[in-house]
Structures are given as C-alpha cells and as structure tokens.
Amino acid sequence: MTTVAATSHPAPAHHDDRSFIRKYVFSTDHKIIGIQFLFVSLFFLLVGGLLAMQMRWQLGFPGKPMPGGGVLPETMAPGGVILPEYYIQLVTMHGTFMVFFAIMPLLVGVYANFLIPLKIGTHDMAFPRINMWSFWSFFAAGLVMLASMFVPDGAARAGWTMYAPLSARHDYSGASIGQELWSVSIILVGLSSILGSLNYITTIINNRAPGMTWFRMPLSVWSLFITAILGLLALPVLSGAAIMLLFDQIIGTHFFDPAAGGQALLWQHLFWFFGHPEVYILILPAMGMVSDIIANGSRKPIFGYHSMVFAIVAIAFLGWIVWGHHMFVSGMNPTLGSSFMVSTLVIAVPSAVKTFNWMGTMWRGNLRFTVPMLNAVAFVAMFVIGGLSGIFMAATPVDMFIHDTYFIVAHLHYVLFGGSLFALFAAIPYWYPKMFGRLMHEGWGKVHFWLTFVFYNCVFFPMHILGMGGMMRRLYDPSQYTFLQPYQPMNVFISISAFLLFATQIIFFVNFWWSLKKGKPAGLNPWQDNGLEWTLPSPAPHGNWDRVPTVYRGPYEFSSPQVPEDYLPQTRKLPTDREPAAATAARH
C-alpha cells in the first residue's frame, strides 16, 4: 500500500565494496562527511570551551595561579599565573575556534551535508568529491589553527575580529608566526565553506525528488540553502581579506598599515562585510532545524510556513547591508551610522516574525517534551533575549555607550550559545539515530538540558549588567579600573557558573560516545516525523535509496485529519494523492 520503507529489512542502495579508507576516511558519502565534521567539530567545541575556562579563571581570580596551570609554559603562564599576552591569545582563539571550527561546521558542515540529500530525496550531493575536499580542507585548517598556539611567540592575539594594524604588525602585537598561521587557517576554512556551498546550492536546485517542490522542502533545508548562498558570497571576502593580511604580515605589503599608506578601517569593512552574513550563517540553520523539531514536538504543522521562508530570505538579504553596525564608533562617516542603524533595526522584524511563528506552532499543539524538543523550545526562549538585546546596539546613540563592553558579549553568547548551541543540542540527538542507528540516552539528555540551561543563564545574563556598568571587553584584569572593582563579585559568580557549565557538558559528551555502542537501537522513525530521511533504515545506507521516492506533500502534516496517526510522511501516498506532474530530477 505504502511506499514508506516500513520493510523489516534494510535494502542497501547498491552493493558496497569500498575499502575501509574509502568508506570512512576519504569518503565521498555525504553522510560520512557529515559525521566526520561532527566528530572533529565536537572536538573543537571542547577546545573552545577549555580556552574559555582559562579566561574565566583569570577574570574571576585575577593574578592567581590557575589549577593545572603548571603545565603551561613560562611564556603563557609562569607559575600558573596567566600573562596578559596569553589572556588575549585565549580571547582570540576562543572566538576563532568557536565560530569557525565549532558552530559553523556543526551547523553547516554536519547538517547541510547529512540532511540535504536525505531530506530532498537524492542519493548524494551533486559533487561528492568536492564535498570530500570540503571536509579535508576544514580538517587541515583546524590543524593549522591548533598549531598556531604552539609556535614561538604564541598564537594570534588581536581578538577573533583581528583588527589591523594590531594584527598586521608583529612589533605591535608581539606575536609572529602565530598571527600568520591564523591567516592561513582562515583561508583554508573559507575554502572549505565555499566548496561546501557549491554542493549544497547545486544539489538543492537540481536534485530534488519528484514532487519535492520548493515549498514542500522542510525549513531546515531552506535555511541551509539560503545559508549556503550567504557562505558562497561572504567567505571569499574573508579569504581575500585574510590573504591581504597575510601579505602585510609576510611579504611587506601595507594594505592595513597607515604608517605606510594603508587604511586601518579597510580591514574592518572587509571583515564585517563577511562577518555580518557570517553570523546569519551561524543562526539560520539553527532556526531551520528548530522549526522542524518544534513542529514535530508539537504534532502540528509549522505556523506560517511561507512567512517562515520569506523571513529566512529577508534575514539573509538584509544581512548584507547591516555590517556597519559593528563600526558605529570606528571613525567611519557618521552618516553611515544612520543608514546602518535603519537596516539593523529593520532586520529585527523577520526574526520577530519567526519567533511568533514558533510560538504559533506550539499553540494548541500536543507537546512532547523529548530532549530535542526541550532544547528547541529553549532555543526560542534564549534567542529572543539575544535578539532583543541587539536592539539596544542597533540604536546608535546607545551603541556608543555599550559598544565593546560585556553587553555585546552577553548578546553574542545569547544568540550563539542560547541560540545556535541549544539548537545543536536539539539537532544532535534528533538526527543521531539516522546517523548511528541508536538513540542517545533520553534521561541523561534531560539532566544535561536542565543543568546547561540554568548554568548558561547564570553565566551570560549577568554580563548585561557588567556591560551596562561600562566593563570593557578583552580586559585581562578589570580591577585595574576603580569603577569596575565593585563588579568583581559578579565576575566571580560568572566564573564559577562557567566552570559548572563546562563540567555539565561532560554529560553530553559521555552520552554521545556511550550511545554510539550502547544506545537503544532506533527503528526507522523514532520521532514519528514526516521527512524523507525517516523512511530509510537507521543508520541510512550508502546511496540512500535504490530508487528515489516520490513526494506528495509538505513536511509538516502533523495531526492531519486525513489519517488517524498524528503524522503523515511526505512520501506516503494516499488514495487521494496524484503523482507529481514532472520529476525535478531524472529518476536514477
């Protein structure tokens, strides 16, 4: 009756006689590549967290020897006491690893790769070998960035934003080859993103299964599609800027050095022209996956699907014309301050629309609080705080005061951690069964969720207050300023909460690794979801389908009156369904 693969034995797409190396190491299978990104990015997430823990030690207990600090060399922390130049390396590397090697690859490298072909109904990406290069250039970039922390004179230290001329001239920063390796790594990571984007865009445009029209694609795929376009256009700007910076650093050009005719602000314009679309790259996939998970958890269609799509497109489009809001007090023409303020305030609107639509999805739903659903709802609750705090910064006069303070740090962590990372804590257990054939432990997942939620807010909410008080960013020792000394107890509170937050993540990591072998075996569709991937065995086989399925409806037909179950898969053919008019891709 049904074309849903409810068969009891999984049928491999074709006989798989690849060697171990071809299957798991130099693989062109989008699912393996996605899993490779997952393992490597989770490692870098841990690295980023360790760097943050050292920063929080110094901020909470300035000048005190750090437990375990004895393993660090004299040039970083003599006697375990963090040096100022090491502190700013920590700041720089924390931001760099988290943005480029954790969040971006976790959202895009993992889920664009893993989900797109599965969710649109095709065997693999349009260019599988280019896809493989996308992972390996990312891996190489990560190695280079890690190496940069262990070279003479230490790592880059001008902040993850790498403002010139501090970053361009070694006599200003005190670093040497570490700064250059940062540039090289970023060029490689840009390459990885660009190669990935080529695949995601082409595959979605060309290789959708019959019946998978644009407006039957899940929001996760829409968001990954738009994100890929952002990446394709934005990363080359970063790579170009990084190349110019590298040239300034090693071959004697002076693009960014005013002492020799260059322009300091040029770096900022180039970086933020990339940087602002980048932050939408860091949130849109999260929003898309959360949409899928909330609809599933509410057993209701997504509220306002078309509005959601238009909101994604609007955010992406507007994201190109707001970059100057990072530069209001930079010395840029103040008239630009006015224009960037307008565009920045406007971009708040589509995000608001999405928030209301998520709430509309939950309204009158039948909510199931699985671990993914808990994290997805927390995403909405936390992202909203991050988005609202952004409005303070958008108002240029207020920004003059809170720019480069902890108010900004609070904002960025609410959107990146409260937003993107909670979305990942939802997505990882959600698609884990399709990746590995097992479920992550639900009980420990809930413990992890609640502890993370509490400690996370204890760490980042007080930072709004610190910022309002005028505490600047990237300060090795705030107590040097008399007006900041009264805030020190708050810094201690934040640091202790941060240590507890980090410790809590051990639960997630152990759950992840343990469940690989010991998790409950998942059936085909443990969440009773409608997407195409849930018609395949868990884990999905190489090549996905023997014959691509046909799609008869959108992805959010939960609690449909047409069937007694509260879900209705996209590929299930009902007697009233007609075959789609033409295939969007040749059947193969």
Residue 407 or 436 with smaller CB distance to another protein: 407
| Interatomic CA distance for residues 204 and 200, integer angstroms | 6
- Tokens, residue 364: 């009158």
Among 61, 127, 133, 401, binds another protein (CB under 8 A): 401
Residue 398 or 500 with smaller CB distance to another protein: 398
- Tokens, residue 428: 């990882």
Collapse the DSSP code of 495 into the 3-class scheme (helix H, G, I; strand E, B; otherwise coil) and give the result: helix
Is residue 551 a contact partner of residue 447, using CB atoms and an 8 Å limit? no
Name which of residues 404 to 463 contact another protein (CB under 8 A): 404-405
- Tokens, residue 519: 């998790």
Residue 108 or 377 with smaller CB distance to another protein: 377
| Min separation Cβ 284 and another protein, Å | 18
- Asked if 10 touches another protein (CB under 8 A), the answer is no
Residue 465 or 585 with smaller CB distance to another protein: 465
**306-335 footprint of another protein as x/- string (CB under 8 A):** xx---------------------xxx-xxx
Residue 150 or 215 with smaller CB distance to another protein: 215
| Interatomic CA distance for residues 585 and 441, integer angstroms | 39
**87-126 footprint of another protein as x/- string (CB under 8 A):** -x--x-----------------------------------
| Min separation Cβ 513 and another protein, Å | 30
Residue 6 or 352 with smaller CB distance to another protein: 352
| Interatomic CA distance for residues 56 and 59, integer angstroms | 5
- Asked if 396 touches another protein (CB under 8 A), the answer is yes
Among 56, 123, 216, 300, binds another protein (CB under 8 A): 300
| Interatomic CA distance for residues 103 and 420, integer angstroms | 7
Closest CA to 440 of 429, 426, 427: 429
Name which of residues 530 to 559 contact another protein (CB under 8 A): 556, 558-559
Residues sharing a CB contact under 8 Å with residue 239, sequence separation 6 or more, in sequence order: 186, 187, 190, 191, 194
Among 337, 519, 531, 569, binds another protein (CB under 8 A): 337
Element holding 521 (H helix, E strand): strand 520-521
Phi and psi angles of residue 489, each rounded to the nearest 5 degrees, phi first: -60, -35
| Min separation Cβ 249 and another protein, Å | 14
Residue 131 or 389 with smaller CB distance to another protein: 389
Among 38, 72, 145, 158, binds another protein (CB under 8 A): 158
| Interatomic CA distance for residues 298 and 367, integer angstroms | 4
Among 25, 205, 349, 510, binds another protein (CB under 8 A): 349
- Asked if 493 touches another protein (CB under 8 A), the answer is no
Could you tell me which stretch among 107-115, 127-135, 136-144, 167-175 binds another protein (CB under 8 A)?
Answer: 167-175
Residue 349 or 503 with smaller CB distance to another protein: 349
| Interatomic CA distance for residues 38 and 109, integer angstroms | 8
Phi and psi angles of residue 358, each rounded to the nearest 5 degrees, phi first: -65, -40
Name which of residues 59 to 88 contact another protein (CB under 8 A): 63, 74-75, 78-79, 81, 83-85, 88
- Asked if 336 touches another protein (CB under 8 A), the answer is no
Q: What angle do CA 471, 256, 334 make, to 5 degrees?
A: 55
Residue 331 or 575 with smaller CB distance to another protein: 331
User: How many C-alpha atoms does 550 have within 13 Å on its Cβ side?
Assistant: 14
Collapse the DSSP code of 580 into the 3-class scheme (helix H, G, I; strand E, B; otherwise coil) and give the result: coil
Residue 281 or 283 with smaller CB distance to another protein: 283
CB atoms within 10 A of CB 187: 21
Helix axes 30-60 and 422-436, enclosed angle (nearest 10): 150
- Beta-bridged to residue 405, according to DSSP, are 472
Name which of residues 368 to 387 contact another protein (CB under 8 A): 368-369, 377, 380-381, 384-385
Could you tell me which stretch among 48-56, 283-291, 485-493, 522-530 binds another protein (CB under 8 A)?
Answer: 485-493
Among 13, 170, 444, 461, binds another protein (CB under 8 A): 170
- Asked if 473 touches another protein (CB under 8 A), the answer is yes
| Interatomic CA distance for residues 383 and 239, integer angstroms | 29
| Min separation Cβ 406 and another protein, Å | 12
Residue 544 amino acid letter: N
- Asked if 304 touches another protein (CB under 8 A), the answer is yes
- Asked if 12 touches another protein (CB under 8 A), the answer is no
Name which of residues 260 to 299 contact another protein (CB under 8 A): 262-265, 298-299
Which residue pairs, CB below 8 angstroms and at least 24 apart, start in 408-413?
408/467, 408/473, 409/460, 409/463, 409/467, 409/473, 410/460, 410/461, 410/463, 410/464, 410/466, 410/467, 411/386, 412/386, 413/386, 413/459, 413/460, 413/463
Among 49, 80, 174, 539, binds another protein (CB under 8 A): 174
Alpha helices in 404-487 (DSSP H): 406-413, 422-436, 442-468
Among 395, 451, 492, 585, binds another protein (CB under 8 A): 395
Residue 35 or 244 with smaller CB distance to another protein: 244
Residue 17 or 171 with smaller CB distance to another protein: 171
Q: How many residues bind another protein (CB under 8 A)?
A: 113
| Min separation Cβ 66 and another protein, Å | 14
